[in-house]
Amino acid sequence: MLNIKKILLTSAAALMAVLPAVALAQGEIDGANTAWILTATALVLFMTVPGLSLFYAGLVQSKNVLSILMQCFSIAAVISIIWMMYGYSIAFGPAEGGWWGGLSKVFLAGITVDSVWGDIPEPLFVAFQMTFAIITPALIVGAFAERMKFSSIMLFVILWSTLVYFPICHWVWNSNGWLFQLGLIDFAGGTVVHVTAGVAAVTMAVMLGKRREFKVSPLIPHNLTMTFTGAGMLWVGWYGFNAGSALGATGGAGMALLATHMSASAGALTWMCIEWVRHGKPSGLGAVTGLIAGLATITPAAGSVGPAGGMVIGIMGGFICFFATHYLKNQLKIDDSLDVFPVHGVGGILGTLMAAVFISQDLGVFSGNGYAEGMAMGSQLMVQVIGILATGIYTLVVTVILMKVVGAVTSGNRVSVEQERTGLDITDHNEKGYSM
C-alpha cells in the first residue's frame, strides 16, 4: 500500500532539485536569471508563432493552410488576455487547498514593477508561464485540423484553458498544488502540457469524426518545406521551454538544455531509421515527427537526467511514438489529423514515467538530482502514475462535456461537407493562403 506521508517527506529534497519550484518568498532580483528568463520567454512564444503554426500548416492541404495559421495566432492572442484576467491567479495564486490558486490575483492585482518571484521579476514570471498556457491548446489544433468551425475552436479553447489547463497547472507547478505536494516530477510539462493536450486531442478527434477523405484518398502534406521550417523553430524554442523551466541561469538549466538536444536528435534518428528499415527509404516527415516525439518525451524529465539519459529517452520516444501513431490511424482508425495524441500524449506519458527511472544517481549523470534518502523508484513511479491518471482522466471528462456544450452553443462543432470540400481558408476567413 502506498505510504503517502512517507513519499511526501522523502521526496522534498529531490523536488527542490528537479521541479521548476514556485518560490513565494520575496527576494532580490538576480540580473543573470532575469536575462535568461526574458530570453526563454521569447523562445517559448516563438514555438507557437511561428514554429508550431508553420509545422502544422505545412502538413494540411493547401486549402486549409491559412486556417491553421489563423487558429494558432488567434489562440496566442486570446489566451494571453484570459491569462492576464484570471488564468495566472487560478494557476499560481496563493489559495490553499491544492486544487486552484483562487482569484486574489485577477487582472494581476498586486503585481507591480517591484514584485519579485524567487529572484526574477514577477511580471516576467507571469509572461513566461503565459507562453506555456498559449502553446498547450495550440497543440490540440493538430487533432481537429481541416474540419472544425473557427467559432467552436475559439469558444472551446477559452473554456478548456479555464477549466483544464489553469487548474492542472496549479496542481502540478504551484507549491500549494496537490500533485506538487504528492511529489510528482514534471519539470516542464509532461502532464501539464503534453498529457492534457494529447488526451483532449484524441477525445475531440473521436467526437468530431473522420475527415471526409480520411482513408479514402491520400491526405498528403501540401508543403513539407514549411513543416521543416516550423520543426526547426520548435527545436530551438524548446531550449526556452525546458531549460527556462529551471527559472534561472544555472548549471541545471544548462544540463536540461543538453539533455533536451540529445533526446531530440535521438528521436529524429530513431523514427527515420525505423522508416528506412520498414519502407526502404527515410522520410523527411518521419524525421521531423521523431524530433517532436523526442522533445515531448524529454520534457518532464529534462531536469532529472543528463545527456546520456536524454538520448535513451529520445530513442524510446521515437520508437514508441512511431508505433503508437500507426496503431491509432491504421488499427483504431482514429483521425487525429496531425498525430497529437500518439506524439505528444504518448510521449508525455512515457517521459513522465521515465523521469522516475532516470532520476537515479547512476543514470541522472549530474549530482543533486538523485532520489531523496529512503525514496524508492517504485514509490516514485506510483506517484508518476497517479499524476498521469489524474490529469488524463480529468482532461477527458471535461473535454467531453465542453465539446457537447460548445456544439450546442455554435449549432455543431463541425463544418458542413461542402465547407470541408471547399476548404476552411475560404469558408472561415474568406481568404486564400496562396494566390496561385
pLDDT in tens, 87-136: 999 999 999 889 999 999 999 999 999 999 999 999 999 999 999 999 99
C-alpha cell at 158: 477559452
Q: What is the pLDDT of residues 164-176, one digit of tens each?
A: 999 999 999 999 9
- Say whether pLDDT at 195 is over 70: yes
Contact 227, 54 (CB under 8 A): yes
Can you tell me which residue has the cell 467526437?
Answer: 207
pTM equals 0.92
Contact 146, 337 (CB under 8 A): yes
Of 24-28, 226-230, 319-323, 415-419, the least confident: 24-28
Its sign, for the CA torsion 273, 357, 248, 367, is negative
Residue 360: predicted pLDDT: 59
- Say whether pLDDT at 13 is over 90: no
Q: How confident is the model at residue 435 (pLDDT cuts 50, 70, 90)?
A: confident
Q: Which 8-state DSSP code applies to residue 190?
A: I
CA angle 100, 47, 391 (to 5 degrees): 30
Q: Closest by alpha carbon to 299, among 350, 333, 336, 364?
A: 350
Q: How far apart are CA 353 and CA 368, in angstroms?
A: 20
Q: What is the pLDDT of residues 54-83, one digit of tens each?
A: 999 999 999 999 999 999 999 999 999 999
What average pLDDT does the segment 328-344 reach? Answer: 96
Tell the CATH topology of 23-429. Answer: Ammonium transporter fold (1.10.3430)
Residue % of the chain over a pLDDT of 70:
90
What average pLDDT does the segment 279-290 reach? Answer: 96
Residue 26 has a CB neighbour count (10 Å cut-off) of 12
- Say whether pLDDT at 21 is over 60: no
- Say whether pLDDT at 8 is over 50: no
- Say whether pLDDT at 209 is over 50: yes
Can you tell me which residue has the cell 471547399?
Answer: 422
Q: How confident is the model at residue 196 (pLDDT cuts 50, 70, 90)?
A: very high
DSSP bridge pairs for 120: 117
Residue 364: predicted pLDDT: 41
The residues near 408 (Cβ < 8 Å, ≥ 6 apart) are none
Q: How far apart are CA 398 and CA 404, in angstroms?
A: 10
